[in-house]
Amino acid sequence: MAGIAQVSGADTPLFTKLKLPNGVEYEQPLGLFINNEFTVGKANKAFEVHSPSTGKLITNVHEAQAADVDIAVDAATRAFEEGPWSKLPPSERGVLLNKLADLFEQNVTTLASIEALDNGKAIQLARGDIAGCIGCFRYYAGWADKIHGKVMDVSSDTFCYTKQEPIGVCGQIIPWNFPLLMFAWKIGPAIAAGNTVVMKPAEQTPLGALFVATLIKEAGFPPGVINILPGFGRDAGDAIAHHMKVKKIAFTGSTLVGRTIMKAAAESNLKKVTLELGGKSPNIVFDDVDIDRAVEWINFGIYYNSGEVCSAGSRVYVQEGIYDKVVAAFKKRASANVVGNPFDENTFQGAQVSKVQHERILNYIDIGRKEGATVEVGGEAHGTEGYFIKPTILSNVGLNARVMQEEIFGPVCTIAKFTDIDDVIKQGNGTNYGLASAVHTKSLNTAIEVANRLKAGTVWVNCYNSFHAALPFGGYGESGIGRELGKEALKNYTQVKTVNINLA
């Protein structure tokens, strides 16, 4: 895609030794992972992978195109239908997921360092991502042998039951903001339920998933169960979305691409579709709060992961009585965030993922200025090397302004006033998105009323961006279809078979 150069694959080996700024050394696979082996793409093309914190080339990675998708889907189909996977007792799927979790535990430092390098995120947050992956694998390992059907008592001369069967080959297309965590959220339920997978990591951040491929093999997953194809969305991604033998597609990314995925499913084999898309989530502060605590959460809500979070609390609403005080405290808090080198243990906010995103975010700040916004703090790039942006707060933004309606996906939030619950519900529900939201208050009644009336898949109360593998996550409105995590996610990866036996 824009900004990522395609090169010949001839000069790109299948593995390279990388030495990271924090001293971590490891062997980075660079090939397509199909049938538990690394290979070169049919077209022998590769693409460049850059470090967002320096802008410099890290390595080239082999590129999968449509012909490679065919090969990977065939491998996944064979694994599903006739390989050892197809006969494996469900509990053994749980054992494999737990082994993968063990290997993540043994490789936390390497995995977190790869994320810091490739995505530009702060290493302290990257470690949290890896902990999230481990929690997710272990959670779904537990489900593997607890996916049951039911017996229905219909009449005395029938015996009727349902089974929860896996769907088959699942295409999974993931974004660059949490390269490994999104990998885990997708793999966990798909594998627990007995499916096989063709996964495409984002072209901006392919390194983590390819390193994990070596762990997948080491854990003992049979060949073809999990295949990983680095490549571009318009090519490999599109081929997965249109593939006739891919029975289910799970996508996390922009709402724009989500629409094309759904269209591709409709145009091909009506594969089942789940989408986790954008957001413009309201983070609401009532006047009864402890201001410092609430400000901690609004700061974390928007600047966590450099604002590259679909659930980011990008619209802050403050009740009018404490508005000025909150603005002052939030400006101070935002300015105190340590922005910079992702490998520095003190860094909270690393680099934006790419030059394209960096420019896009700065452009949004300009749009905000033109729409009459006041830049309370930030509003510009941080430093001259790499893709950093200062934590930014925009005030005096109307509900219909683009910076209030459109997802910026960076460290930029708006802050606005409200009078009472009715007013903030109207403003809070005033976009086409509905991914997440939060309310900060000491009043249980206020919290519950606001939680009931917000149109969002998640409502956090007195916290923000607080995830757990057991808690379903997903969107209302244009934020998506289906839920990830929790027992809910298993519904996306199973289909119900009804067996009706005539005993008469």
- Binding residues for ligand ADP, rule: CB under 6 A, are 173-175, 200, 202-203, 232-234, 237-238, 241, 253-254, 257, 260-261
List the single partner that 124 binds among Mg ion, ligand ADP, none, CB under 5 to 8 Å by kind: none
Residue 484 in contact with Mg ion, rule: CB under 5 A: no
Q: What single letter denotes the amino acid at residue 16?
A: T
The least distance separating ligand ADP from the CB of residue 237, rounded to whole angstroms, comes to: 2
Cβ 170 to ligand ADP shortest distance, Å: 14
- The residue among 49 and 322 lying less far from Mg ion, judged by its C-beta, is 49
**Stretches 59-67, 113-121, 225-233, 301-309: which one binds Mg ion (CB under 5 A)?**
113-121
Structure tokens at 14: 């299948």
CB count within 10 Å of CB 332 equals 12
**CA 493 to the chain's CA centroid:** 17
Nearest distance, CB of residue 355 and Mg ion, angstroms: 11
The whole-angstrom separation of Cα 185 and Cα 132 is 9
Select from 23-31, 83-91, 112-120, 406-414 the region that touches Mg ion (CB under 5 A): 112-120
Cα–Cα distance measured from residue 345 to residue 112, given in angstroms and rounded to the nearest whole number: 12
310 vs 329, which CB is nearer to ligand ADP? 310
Nearest to Mg ion of 117, 225 (CB atom)? 117
Residue nearest to Mg ion (CB): 118
Rounded Cα gap, residues 79 and 198, in angstroms: 12
CA atoms within 13 A on the CB side of 69: 26
Q: Report the alpha-carbon distance of residue 92 to residue 87 in Å, rounded.
A: 10
253 makes contact, choosing from Mg ion, ligand ADP, none, with CB < 5 to 8 Å by partner type, with ligand ADP
Phi, psi of 281, deg, nearest 5: -85, 135
Please report whether residue 203 would count as binding Mg ion according to CB under 5 A. no
Angle at 477 between CA 187 and CA 370, to 5 degrees: 110
Beta strand 45-50 pairing with 57-62: antiparallel
Shorter beta-carbon distance to ligand ADP: residue 47 or 330:
47
**Contacted by 396, from ligand ADP, Mg ion, none: CB < 5 to 8 Å by type:** none
| Beta carbon of residue 142, minimum distance to ligand ADP (angstroms, whole number) | 29
Q: Of the listed 63, 276, 308, 478, which one is catalytic?
A: 276
Burial track 291-320 (b if 16+ CB lie within 10 A, e otherwise): beebbbbbbbbbbbbbbbbbbbbbbbbbbe
**Identified binder of Mg ion from the candidate list 63, 68, 115, 118, rule CB under 5 A:** 118
- Residue 118: contacted member of ligand ADP, Mg ion, none (CB under 5 to 8 Å, by partner type): Mg ion
Under 8 Å between Cβ of 123 and 343: yes
Q: Which residue is nearest to ligand ADP (CB)?
A: 233
Closest distance to ligand ADP from the beta carbon of 235 (Å)? 8
Q: How far apart are CA 139 and CA 130, in angstroms?
A: 14
* 3-class DSSP assignment, residue 362: helix
Mark the segment that binds Mg ion (CB under 5 A) among 18-26, 118-126, 271-279, 453-461: 118-126
Residue 238 binding Mg ion, by CB under 5 A: no
User: Between 83 and 233, whose beta carbon lies closer to ligand ADP?
Assistant: 233
- The item of ligand ADP, Mg ion, none sharing an interface with residue 234, based on CB under 5 to 8 Å by kind, is ligand ADP
**203 and 47 in contact (C-beta within 8 Å)?**
yes
| Closer residue to Mg ion (CB): 28 or 195 | 28
Beta bridge partners of 500: 160
The neighbour count for residue 497, using CB atoms within 10 Å, is 11
Strand order of the β-sheet with 45-50 is 6-8, 45-50, 57-62
For this structure, is 276 an active site residue?
Answer: yes
Judged by beta carbon, residue 243 or residue 483, the one nearer ligand ADP is: 243
Minimum gap (Å) between residue 232 Cβ and ligand ADP:
6
Strand order in the sheet with 494-502: 151-152, 158-166, 494-502
Catalytic option among 310, 413, 478, 484: 310
Q: Which residues are catalytic?
A: 276, 310
Q: List contacts with Mg ion (CB under 5 A).
A: 118, 204
